[in-house]
Amino acid sequence: MSAANFKNCRNIMITGASRGLGLQMVESLATSGNSPAKIIAAARNPSGAQQLQKLAEKYSNIHIITLDVISQESIERAAQEVDVLLQEEGLNCLINNAGINVVANFETVTAEKMLENFHVNSVAPLMITKAVLPLLRRAARQGGPGMGIHRAAVINMTSLLGSVELNWGDRANNFKWYPYRTSKSALNMVSRCMAVDLVEDGILCMMLHPGWVRTDMGGPEAPLSAEDSISSVLAVIGGLTEKDHGSFLHYTGEPLPW
């Protein structure tokens, strides 16, 4: 069972929980036998997130908060709300999942398109992690030895398309998206930098590619359902240890080339 390893994770915060993979993570965790005591589902417009609202009516451990990841004011307000919700226990797991794909090739790309994609995909995960760092530290101090979601972990949802090494040869002829690809490469470097800085606190930090999934972003031709992707993603997250600190993993748990 995918979320079985979550039994020692008391709480989790997921950004971009209104639809797609974020919503699926909330649902899969809420319906699991080992559901965390608090699932904090962050969405920029909760009143428009009907499916998330329905889930929260059914499962009392889902707490919906407002978070627009590109607004520093919203990030700070959300961090305060999370602090009130979690208090002394701190935050065990932050999943920076919210993302956008600004589709633009060499001909159509503009500075504005690059910066828009960078703000959501690369800058926001850094700013959100900084804002909840005291809560992550609090949880890490209480969780015992080793690293993982029994203490504190930051999981950044990245993409295979951010791999510089894989964007070569035959593979390079697909998805010629400058803003998205570079924003995910930058997210990978942000994640590695954070892994270097957070190791002292015992906070695990890594990046995960969820597969090519049928969501609004992945499109209808993607081979994986959100349910299957997230079942595997949660199994990987649940099994993370210090050996995975700073890693870039496929949803199957295999390492990916940078």
List residues binding ligand NAP (CB under 6 A): 16, 18-22, 44-45, 67-70, 97-100, 120, 157, 159, 209-210, 212-213, 215-218, 222
- The three state secondary structure string of 16-70 is CCCCHHHHHHHHHHHCCCCCCCEEEEEECCHHHCHHHHHHHHHCCCEEEEECCCC
If the CB atoms of residues 94 and 139 are measured against ligand NAP, the closer one turns out to be: 94
Are 212 and 223 in contact by the 8 Å Cβ rule? The answer is: yes
Query: At closest approach, how far in Å is the CB of 178 from ligand NAP?
Result: 15
If the CB atoms of residues 199 and 217 are measured against ligand NAP, the closer one turns out to be: 217
Query: At closest approach, how far in Å is the CB of 179 from ligand NAP?
Result: 11
Query: At closest approach, how far in Å is the CB of 24 from ligand NAP?
Result: 8
If the CB atoms of residues 13 and 140 are measured against ligand NAP, the closer one turns out to be: 13
If the CB atoms of residues 77 and 137 are measured against ligand NAP, the closer one turns out to be: 77
Query: At closest approach, how far in Å is the CB of 157 from ligand NAP?
Result: 4
Cα separation, 233 vs 125, in Å, equals 18
If the CB atoms of residues 16 and 143 are measured against ligand NAP, the closer one turns out to be: 16
First vs last Cα of the chain: how many Å apart?
Answer: 30
Query: At closest approach, how far in Å is the CB of 8 from ligand NAP?
Result: 25
User: H-type helices in the chain, by residue range?
Assistant: 20-30, 50-58, 72-86, 111-118, 124-142, 178-198, 226-238
Residue entry with tokens 């627009």: 68
Query: At closest approach, how far in Å is the CB of 141 from ligand NAP?
Result: 29
If the CB atoms of residues 18 and 32 are measured against ligand NAP, the closer one turns out to be: 18
Residue entry with tokens 């609202």: 53
The encoded tokens of residue 100 equal: 């956008």
Residue entry with tokens 């932050």: 94
